Structure 1
């Protein structure tokens, strides 16, 4: 049997003790050493700013703080940290001896056939150990490996909690911006609707006196109905956005905490990605994967130690008597010393299979760790590319809105002067409204990208 091959080394191991957990070197990061683009000058790195320094809008800060205090997902993550911490304390305590008080009472009847004089009797024995000690000698590091595994699981859970917190901050901020953008588009649709209604009322009067044509009247009426559709759509979106914020916050938010429009939300601070991609190693999700890898590596030590003897010592010092009252009389003192050794000889291959499982689990943890780094690198790289393009896109969209606003005013002036039909007014109005909506969407994408980049770069609490 394979287990018997381990017997020659038992004597040395028993004398010196050992830890069978293999040495773990941090796996190489499977990403380029830098971002491939210059760092943004004058901007601090995300890891140097906590979220309150990064987010400057007071309303958004208040909603985020409410979410951090009441969000149920975050509460569950915090409870998982407490659970993992308690598990670590259990495993750490197993290394030390267990000291306690023990008492036993044994009563049984001895039959006539068993008794030497042929008379049945009841045998009674009462034992009380004032000091009882039980201790598993950790010669092969099984308990230490379990402690290391529990410690790294706890640290991974703590990092998971940190990742959940910063993710909640980013999610609430993005939901707040989305609500602001939809509220601004709702106000835009309502102002457009009011303008179309005023025009329709004026054209209705002109039509009655034969100045305006029926075609102009119907075209304006269609614009009123189209604006009503947009108004209803954005009312629905704003209501859904507020429901999403309530869920994230863990409670119903008062109306004064909700944003009125995106233009009134204070801009976020710029952050720099720096030059080196090594900044990713400080992200909570990557640290969590690293601790999970260390925990998996410690499990190999546990699996290896299962091949070797388990040695425990049990001792006690106390009193023994057939009567309870005699335990405290002279001549009743007794002691107990019981060393126990368990050695696996045949397990049907389960020990080797368990060792194989622990090694494969470590390789899976290595892959998860490297994948977490790759994912983080892509998030940052995508965020940097998007940031550069959105800056130019916002400027171009603002210029487009200004041009269409001028075109609409000119078309309206020509119509009022009788130089052109009302169709050009409708076309320019529709184009202007669409461009204004697109500008709001582009500004929203820009600010949402900033939040995503802050989170991807390891923004802290």
Structure 2
């Protein structure tokens, strides 16, 4: 009884040990008060909104919801989170006692415990039944530091999963808008082809009346064929975008129907960026890099703990008998309580090199964290300036399309009245077609800038967004 009390007192003293190595401190990352090109900086941010309040198109909402349920990259990320969680649990178990059992029965001549041993030629039985306990006393915090590191890696993996969600929402939205823009390009190409066909019909009727030449009809026919030739290529791109969207949503390549139009109602009009300090707390890749920095810091402590002695406690209790019939007698009782200590004396500089390696890994993680923050600031700034400039370009391009459309109408009237030649009509039409296509692409880029801003700010992975997605909005 005295031995057990002494063991309990020793355990209490040893459990009061400390964690060697540096304790983690939140990285002090210098960030500006506002984003570059954010003219109206405020605390509110578009990234605080769930994705269905940013993207208003019902079909797009359905596709995003489907992708969050079925996308293979996201499902892979979820399995990685579970793997990291189980690794953290394994490491944590090192700080707990390990309890095992064992036993055996043997019978033979000149044997003991199932192995050859001279017994004077006697035939005898052997039986053992033991319960053993092994425990490394984490006096210096080596196991606690390892557990801290693996827990941080688990949390980093979960942040990576969140980053996959943010990227997935952005990829689905971007691909969908690109698909709508291709639909618009096809519509423009068909309208241009029909417009050139009308000009050809007009020129041909005048040719039949003897007031025009074949050069007019030939030019109009060539322009019609050129416009028509763009349609198959656009249809090819449409099919590829549909396939891309299908794969993102976790299904076999196929058509995406029905779908909306590329208009001003598909995305939120209010797109405040918020504050950089909020972006750092929200963006998954920054939170991930911070957890990896925490893990690297804990690894330094684990490396330092290797300099200190390891203290272990072992115990067993059970029965051992040289005769099976005596196994239940009190004389067969067996127990033992022991402690052990071991530590390094000379290892050729291995422990010192391990500590230096851990400190260098921490420095690398710190630099990666700082770089991640800078990249995030740059992505937000790029998205802000892109949206501003594309909005300005769109206004000018819309004016150009409006003017060229009027020009085509006026030229057609002048030609019918005999006051203009065919060059005037064809030149106006040939100029209108690419101008309309350019306007469609500018509109797309304006919406993609919103997609990029929402993604760069870390929008889409709030607990509200994830839980609501699982419930089907």
- After TM superposition, the score normalised by the length of structure 2 is 0.87
1:398 matched to 2:398: yes
Partner of 1:347: 347
Cα distance in 2 for partners of 1:408, 1:75 equals 54
Matches within 5 A, 1:33-52: 33-36=33-36, 40=40, 44-52=44-52
CA distance in 1, matches of 2:321, 2:340: 26
Q: CA deviation at 1:182?
A: 0.6
Q: Which segment is superposed worse, 267-276 or 47-56?
A: 267-276
After TM superposition, give the deviation of residue 216 of structure 1 in Å: 0.4
Counterpart for residue 23 of structure 2 = 23
The whole-number CA distance in structure 2 between the counterparts of 1:148 and 1:37 is 40
Match of 2:417 in 1: 417
What is the distance in 1 between the residues matched to 2:45 and 2:285? 18
Aligned to 1:127: 128
Q: Extract unaligned runs of 5+ from structure 2.
A: 1-12, 106-112, 462-473
Compute the displacement of 1:124 (Å): 5.9
Find the aligned partners of 1:351 and 1:447 in 2 and give their Cα distance: 55
Once the two structures are superposed, what CA deviation does each residue of 1:110-134 show, in whole Å capped at 9, x if it has no partner?
25xxx6xxx45577643212x4321
1:59-78 equivalences under 5 Å are 59-78=59-78
Residues 100 and 133 of structure 1 are in contact (CA less than 8 Å); yes or no, is this contact kept in structure 2?
yes
Q: 1:172 — aligned with what?
A: 172
Matches within 5 A, 1:222-241: 222-241=222-241
SS at match of 2:225: helix
Deviations 1:102-155 (A, max 9, x none): 3245222225xxx6xxx45577643212x4321110011111011101100000
Distance in 1 between the 2:49 and 2:264 partners? 23
- Report Cα offsets for 1:233-290 as digits up to 9, x if no partner: 2111111111111121111476454535423862334221224545323211100000
State whether residues 277 and 377 of structure 1, in contact with CA within 8 Å, keep that contact through their aligned partners in structure 2: no
Distance 1:264 1:449, change over 3 A: closer
Q: What residue is the counterpart of 1:356 in the other structure?
A: 356
Check conservation: 1:40, 1:274, Cα contact below 8 A.
Answer: no
Is 2:301 aligned against 1:290?
no
Cα deviation, residue 331, structure 1: 2.3
Superposition pairs for residues 307-322 of structure 1, below 5 Å? 307-322=307-322
SS at match of 2:423: helix
| Inter-partner Cα distance in structure 1 for 2:160 and 2:348 | 38
Q: 1:38 to 1:75 in 2, by over 3 A?
A: closer
Q: What is the match of residue 8 of structure 1?
A: none
Question: For structure 1, which runs of at least 5 residues remain unmatched after alignment?
Answer: 1-12
Task: Label 1:260 to 1:48 Cα distance change in 2 as closer, same or farther (>3 A).
Answer: closer
- Corresponding residue for 1:144? 144
* Separation (CA, whole Å) in 1 of partners of 2:39 and 2:365: 32
Find the counterpart in structure 2 of residue 109 from structure 1. Answer: 116
Name the CA distance, whole Å, in 1 between partners of 2:325 and 2:228.
Answer: 94
What is the aligned partner in structure 2 of residue 376 from structure 1?
376
1:332 deviates by 1.3
Tell me if 1:162 matches 2:169: no
Residue 380 of structure 1 and its aligned partner are, at CA, apart by 1.1
1:41 and 1:347 map into 2 onto residues whose CA distance is 58
SS of 2:386's partner is helix
Task: Evaluate the alpha carbon distance shift between residue 122 and residue 149 of structure 1 in structure 2; reply closer, same or farther with a 3 A threshold.
Answer: farther
Q: Distance in 2 between matches of 1:63 and 1:145?
A: 43
1:252-263 equivalences under 5 Å are 252=252, 255=255, 257=257, 259=259, 261-263=261-263
CA shift for structure 1 position 327: 2.4
Partner SS state of residue 263, structure 1 = coil
The number of residues matched between the two structures is 442
The 1:293–1:301 alpha-carbon spacing in structure 2 relative to 1, beyond 3 Å, is same
* Contact 1:22–1:300 (CA under 8 A) maintained in structure 2: yes
Q: Is 1:268 matched with 2:263? A: no
TM (normalized to structure 1)? 0.90
Q: Measure, in 2, the Cα distance between the counterparts of 1:430 and 1:277.
A: 50
Query: Cα distance 1:122–1:83, how it changes in 2: closer, same or farther (>3 A)?
Result: farther
1:56 aligns with 2:63: no
